[in-house]
Chains A and B, each alone.
Chain A
């Protein structure tokens, strides 16, 4: 019993918070002004508690397992959700259904926790659904906006489609091996054609969730239509969680097919980067822009995935941590400006520095971090991804990746140029930043600057493997 509590600690605490929110909702009468700080405190407590009482082990007849690396991954996701609750506080405060929003978000997070910890295809599939369906409901949260409904529709349809594909893959795997236990599958796979087909289905389903080209088409519309809180959850937390389990699947379960998926990952990494970058060049809406930039970032994650060694896992976990800080800072600034002025276009950001220097510096930091320029943490994140990926001595691959860094720098500079250099007769007026948002942005900014300098963070993650 004791083991049950300590191994499933993250999930149990999260479930506790979900129930608490449910009771608060039933009780009614709690205003957003009091509820939101309460939720923020709960999420912070949840994040901090993640560092205590950790154990490794298996539960439920090998259906669920946890290791210190998995705990670390969960902590990173917890941190991300806490930061979202801070940087999007302005929007959250105004929404009519605050409790429901967090109910959905935390349920999705719970699904992700189970997904990362799953050691069985059944649990994996269930938790993946739990992690997806609430997000579609969240995407629809701007009830008056048509685009929000459209985004939610696209999201749920593409999710359903990819789930179907995944189920097909799972059934083929079960049919050929007679097992759904992940540790066993690693030994049972013998690369028969049917299994390779199953793998392709698996891969396609993951590609949907990670918006890897050519399965990326839903991303931009959903990101643009959804409220920014949801967009940032989708682009940071969802992606991070799926990237973690994706690597586990490839490295553990599909290890016998490594020579096959290596080619696939290399080709798709290049395609994802190139397409993400090229489309990001043309975007006017800041949310669409960040959507395509996040597609390109997934391409870089795939570079490390191609390494097929523990270095790759470490660098992806580290990159997701850095990515949470960088992307949430960018989304946070966009959220503040959209919420206060309704402006979403990059052209509206012209001359922002004159009126809002704090927001401008945070935005510049986050964009430089996304572009991978030192001294920001993004530099280390990207560099380690590429270092891990170059272990196979595939020079052409690495050169293409490095060239993509230049293209991505170009479009990030476009925004920075608008903010710092371009003149504007009608700039965004000075915006008052509420305390939680300021705290969230400062945490992100500090994370961007410090995470790279503190090299023990990386080394610590490395020891967890």
Chain B
């Protein structure tokens, strides 16, 4: 399969949207384009499994390489392994759902969809890049769309949030840039990830470069204490924007932390693992407790995202194969789950015009479909077996437990305890809004989900169930890649 189509399809869709003449055309072109992307992602999954079934053992499949800036030895090198395939699949799900839930955006529709598709383009490009420079390019490409999406279509203190998000992510990028240049010069003038993974970088250099890269990518994935853009950014963004930010953008960071920082600088990873574990445990607990205090549904999900994403970082910090597989699963699972969560919150807000838990009640009677989905996604968030959250978090815990010493055990136990807190805030928020009598008389007139919203919700729910009930396929994708990373860490 030619991976260039994964960049080409979103690009063509975005350009077609620009050429569209009215709102109707814009929406349908976007939907068609995003469905094509979904189809391509599924085709990629099948093609990848097919190749692997044929005993194709290369680390990366479908590789392509074109010289780009020859004088800097930068090449447009692309290829996928299991992690990339899973992430691309996640992206395509969220893009389709994002397009669907934005169906009724009336303000500057064309610009909105254009920017949304550009965000997707950046994510696809990021996940297939095997050249640090190209990867950085695609990481940065999403700054403009994010900023404008929040600033123009957002709500609340949107200008503040947009600025904060753009600047903090730019700060992360600045650190990544320095770390990237360090790698480039120490590994003999190459940005190629595969070449870098074979080079030996001296320990003292890794000691400097690892924190730069890990913290840089960590900003994107809400590494404590650099998570502060998350609550503001997510809650101010329009629904599709929040879905993208939490569902995809934060995963870019997690992917970078693992693929770039940990994989390329294993000595650094071993050295700093303790700090990563401490920080991510704090993020998990702090996020959970902070969520308990929130009254706004979007803030609830934003803070709980900080807590949930903490599990992926914890998994990376544990440095065992199972924990890393779990971390990756958590990224995929959280991506689908949180996108659905934000989508449902958006649907509720569109109808009730409030996101305050206290202003709602008994929505089940009037909005049975939306309420049911809300319930399910809440259960997924608190880790109910059968849904994706349980599988991912469980794998992280099992992997963490493989470390026999007290420190790792305590961190694991602390992280596991957060599940109780999660149960408290999720059940409270969902219970208050959905169960009981209708508290607000105005809510008696509400209409349940329209076709586009149902479609989006069902699509993402399917993802959650596919991971929750039959996690084997995802495990098969991620396990070998995690093994590859562990091999390098173990120095094999």
Q: Which residues of A contact B (CB under 8 A)?
A: 311, 314, 364, 368, 373-375, 379-380, 383-384, 386-387, 390-391, 393, 395, 398-399, 402-403, 405-406, 409-410, 413, 416-417, 420-422, 455, 458-459, 462
* B57: Cβ under 8 A from any A Cβ: no
| Whole-angstrom distance between the Cβ of B124 and the nearest chain A Cβ | 14
A-B contact pairs, 13 of them (CB 8 A): A374-B141, A375-B141, A383-B177, A386-B181, A393-B185, A399-B174, A402-B174, A413-B167, A417-B159, A455-B68, A455-B70, A459-B69, A459-B70
| B181 in contact with A390 (CB, 8 Å) | yes
Find chain A residues with CB under 8 A from B159 CB: 417, 421-422
Bound Cα distance from A459 to B68, whole angstroms: 9
| B170 in contact with A405 (CB, 8 Å) | yes
| Whole-angstrom distance between the Cβ of A384 and the nearest chain B Cβ | 7
| B72 in contact with A379 (CB, 8 Å) | no
Q: A373 is contacted by which of B144, B163, B182 (Cβ under 8 Å)? A: B144
* B471: Cβ under 8 A from any A Cβ: no
Q: Chain B, 145-167, contact with A by CB distance < 8 Å: what is the 0/1 string?
A: 00110011000001100110011
| Whole-angstrom distance between the Cβ of A268 and the nearest chain B Cβ | 21
Given contacts A387-B72, A395-B208, A459-B69, contact A405 B152 (CB under 8 A): no
Bound Cα distance from A398 to B133, whole angstroms: 17
Which residue of chain B is the closest to A453 with respect to CB atoms? Answer: B68
| B69 in contact with A386 (CB, 8 Å) | no
* B137: Cβ under 8 A from any A Cβ: yes
Q: Give the interface residue-count category, chain B.
A: 35 or more
Q: A409 is contacted by which of B137, B170, B181 (Cβ under 8 Å)? A: B170
Which residue of chain B is the closest to A420 with respect to CB atoms? Answer: B152
The interface centre, meaning the residue of B175, B177, B185 with most chain A CB atoms within 10 A of its CB, is: B177
Which residue of chain A is the closest to B154 with respect to CB atoms? Answer: A421
| B71 in contact with A406 (CB, 8 Å) | no
| Whole-angstrom distance between the Cβ of B157 and the nearest chain A Cβ | 12
| A374 in contact with B184 (CB, 8 Å) | no
Find chain A residues with CB under 8 A from B147 CB: 413, 416
| Whole-angstrom distance between the Cβ of A304 and the nearest chain B Cβ | 13
Q: Which residues of B contact A (CB under 8 A)?
A: 67-72, 74, 133, 137, 140-141, 143-144, 147-148, 151-152, 158-159, 162-163, 166-167, 170-171, 173-175, 177-178, 181-182, 184-185, 208
Find chain A residues with CB under 8 A from B184 CB: 387
Q: B167 is contacted by which of A374, A380, A390, A406 (Cβ under 8 Å)? A: A406
| B170 in contact with A368 (CB, 8 Å) | no
| Whole-angstrom distance between the Cβ of A349 and the nearest chain B Cβ | 15
| A421 in contact with B158 (CB, 8 Å) | yes
| Whole-angstrom distance between the Cβ of B146 and the nearest chain A Cβ | 11
| Whole-angstrom distance between the Cβ of A138 and the nearest chain B Cβ | 35
Find chain B residues with CB under 8 A from A380 CB: 69
Chain A-chain B contacts (Cβ-Cβ < 8 Å), number: 88
Find chain A residues with CB under 8 A from B177 CB: 383, 386, 402, 405
Find chain B residues with CB under 8 A from A410 CB: 163, 167
Find chain B residues with CB under 8 A from A403 CB: 171, 174
Bound Cα distance from A380 to B69, whole angstroms: 10
Bound Cα distance from A261 to B294, whole angstroms: 56
Given contacts A373-B144, A413-B166, A420-B148, contact A391 B71 (CB under 8 A): no
Bound Cα distance from A387 to B151, whole angstroms: 32
| B170 in contact with A417 (CB, 8 Å) | no
Bound Cα distance from A417 to B174, whole angstroms: 22
Find chain A residues with CB under 8 A from B68 CB: 455
Bound Cα distance from A303 to B72, whole angstroms: 17
Bound Cα distance from A391 to B71, whole angstroms: 14
Q: 10 tightest CB-CB pairs across the interface, nearest first?
A: A402-B174, A462-B71, A390-B181, A421-B151, A455-B68, A374-B140, A455-B69, A374-B141, A406-B170, A459-B70
| Whole-angstrom distance between the Cβ of A313 and the nearest chain B Cβ | 12
Bound Cα distance from A368 to B158, whole angstroms: 20
| B185 in contact with A391 (CB, 8 Å) | yes
| Whole-angstrom distance between the Cβ of A374 and the nearest chain B Cβ | 5
| B167 in contact with A398 (CB, 8 Å) | no
Bound Cα distance from A411 to B67, whole angstroms: 35
| B148 in contact with A379 (CB, 8 Å) | no
Bound Cα distance from A11 to B80, whole angstroms: 53
| B71 in contact with A459 (CB, 8 Å) | yes
Find chain B residues with CB under 8 A from A383 CB: 133, 177
| B163 in contact with A417 (CB, 8 Å) | yes
Which residue of chain A is the closest to B140 with respect to CB atoms? Answer: A374
| A373 in contact with B151 (CB, 8 Å) | no
Which residue of chain A is the closest to B185 with respect to CB atoms? Answer: A393
Find chain A residues with CB under 8 A from B167 CB: 406, 409-410, 413
Find chain B residues with CB under 8 A from A455 CB: 67-70, 74
| B71 in contact with A395 (CB, 8 Å) | no
Find chain A residues with CB under 8 A from B178 CB: 390, 395, 398-399, 402
Bound Cα distance from A391 to B171, whole angstroms: 22
Find chain B residues with CB under 8 A from A422 CB: 159
Find chain A residues with CB under 8 A from B208 CB: 395
Which residue of chain A is the closest to B168 with respect to CB atoms? Answer: A406
Bound Cα distance from A410 to B177, whole angstroms: 18
| B144 in contact with A368 (CB, 8 Å) | yes
Find chain B residues with CB under 8 A from A395 CB: 178, 182, 208
Bound Cα distance from A413 to B144, whole angstroms: 10
| A373 in contact with B181 (CB, 8 Å) | no
| Whole-angstrom distance between the Cβ of A375 and the nearest chain B Cβ | 6
Find chain B residues with CB under 8 A from A368 CB: 144
Find chain A residues with CB under 8 A from B151 CB: 417, 420-421
Q: B71 is contacted by which of A402, A409, A458 (Cβ under 8 Å)? A: A458
Bound Cα distance from A25 to B171, whole angstroms: 55
The interface centre, meaning the residue of B72, B148, B159, B208 with most chain A CB atoms within 10 A of its CB, is: B72
| Whole-angstrom distance between the Cβ of B150 and the nearest chain A Cβ | 9
Which residue of chain A is the closest to B143 with respect to CB atoms? Answer: A373
Given contacts A393-B185, A395-B178, A417-B151, contact A311 B71 (CB under 8 A): yes
Find chain B residues with CB under 8 A from A413 CB: 147, 163, 166-167
| Whole-angstrom distance between the Cβ of B43 and the nearest chain A Cβ | 26
Q: B72 is contacted by which of A375, A384, A409 (Cβ under 8 Å)? A: A384
| Whole-angstrom distance between the Cβ of A245 and the nearest chain B Cβ | 23
Find chain B residues with CB under 8 A from A406 CB: 167, 170-171, 174
Given contacts A386-B177, A405-B170, A420-B152, contact A379 B71 (CB under 8 A): no
Given contacts A374-B137, A374-B140, contact A421 B152 (CB under 8 A): yes
Find chain B residues with CB under 8 A from A391 CB: 185
Supply 16 further A-B pairs (C-beta < 8 A) apart from A399-B178, A459-B69, A462-B71. Answer: A368-B144, A380-B69, A383-B177, A390-B182, A391-B185, A395-B178, A399-B174, A402-B175, A403-B174, A410-B163, A410-B167, A417-B151, A417-B159, A420-B151, A421-B151, A421-B159
Given contacts A387-B181, A406-B170, A409-B166, contact A379 B144 (CB under 8 A): no
| B137 in contact with A379 (CB, 8 Å) | yes
Bound Cα distance from A417 to B178, whole angstroms: 28
| Whole-angstrom distance between the Cβ of A299 and the nearest chain B Cβ | 15
Bound Cα distance from A375 to B181, whole angstroms: 20
The interface centre, meaning the residue of B67, B166, B171, B182 with most chain A CB atoms within 10 A of its CB, is: B166
Find chain A residues with CB under 8 A from B185 CB: 390-391, 393
| A379 in contact with B152 (CB, 8 Å) | no
Bound Cα distance from A232 to B57, whole angstroms: 57
Given contacts A402-B175, A409-B167, A420-B151, contact A379 B181 (CB under 8 A): no
Which residue of chain B is the closest to A407 with respect to CB atoms? Answer: B167
Find chain A residues with CB under 8 A from B143 CB: 373
Bound Cα distance from A314 to B72, whole angstroms: 11
| B71 in contact with A373 (CB, 8 Å) | no
Find chain B residues with CB under 8 A from A387 CB: 72, 181, 184
Bound Cα distance from A364 to B115, whole angstroms: 14
Bound Cα distance from A405 to B167, whole angstroms: 10
Find chain A residues with CB under 8 A from B173 CB: 405
Bound Cα distance from A406 to B174, whole angstroms: 8
Find chain A residues with CB under 8 A from B181 CB: 386-387, 390, 398
Bound Cα distance from A151 to B74, whole angstroms: 45
Bound Cα distance from A387 to B180, whole angstroms: 10
